[in-house]
A = this chain, B = another copy of it.
Amino acid sequence: MAESSKPILYSYFRSSCSWRVRIALALKNIDYETVAINLTKDGGQQFSGEFQALNPMKQVPALKIDGITIGQSLAIIEYLEETRPTPRLLPWDPKKRAQVRMVSDLIASGIQPLQNLSVLKQVGQENQLTWAQQAITSGFNALEQILQSTAGRYCVGDEVSMADLCLAPQVANADRFKVDLTPYPTISRINKSLLALEAFHVSHPCRQPDTPPELRA
């Protein structure tokens, strides 16, 4: 019984949105099982009938927890925050919470969707790199400026928040797409601090059950 009530995370090692949720689960010390959904194998396992029934968006992550299945990484994180509040991922001050959500949404709505796998397929092989770089640099230009006024050690002040759960995975995507991070000293500094944390380490794409051997670290 205990076993069957463990949350199940449908995840892909390289998905930045899945990584956001893995960090939240690790920070909140929530034990869970991973079901790997390989976004590139078999034409994309997210398109299987079985997975579509679970998440009609055909995207990872999805989290089965407390008898429901939630899609959309930020909706999942907000649910975890409301039902497992310790340690908190949103500050108590509503104005600081607004900053955390603004930074999170900037990444989750303003950057990531424009450079995800399905969009890159649509723009075609030869344009993918330029397209992704454009989406990320445009977003990072804004983000760097915002963080200069909100950041302490992390994105908003000195406590890790939902915004940081979005930042590190997005910087990893920037690396993959060979974006020059020199113009973004604040983003780079915060990312470095985050990667040194245990929860970011264990949840990292290179350490997941579905990480291919050649990418493990």
A interface vs B, CB < 8 Å?
56-59, 66-68, 70-76, 78-79, 82-83, 94-95, 97-99, 101-102, 104-106, 108-110, 112-114, 119, 122-123, 131, 134, 139, 141-143, 145-146
Contacts and interface: CB of A to CB of B under 8 A. Distances in A.
Contacts of A95: 66-68, 79
Secondary structure at chain A's binding surface: helix, strand, loop or mixed?
helix
Contacts of A57: 106, 110, 139, 142
Nearest to A63: B98
Which of A73, A102, A113 neighbours the largest number of chain B CB atoms within 10 Å of its CB? A102
Nearest to A118: B138
A8 B131 CA distance: 34
A73 B105 CA distance: 9
What is the total number of copies of this protein in its complex? Answer: 2
B142 A56 contact: yes
Given A72-B110, A79-B97, A114-B119, 14 more contacts: A56-B141, A56-B143, A58-B142, A66-B95, A68-B99, A75-B104, A76-B98, A78-B101, A79-B94, A79-B95, A105-B108, A109-B112, A109-B113, A113-B114
A54 to B, nearest CB: 11
A190 B130 CA distance: 39
Nearest to A95: B68
A59 B109 CA distance: 12
A113 B104 CA distance: 15
A75 B102 contact: yes
Nearest to A147: B56
B109 A71 contact: no
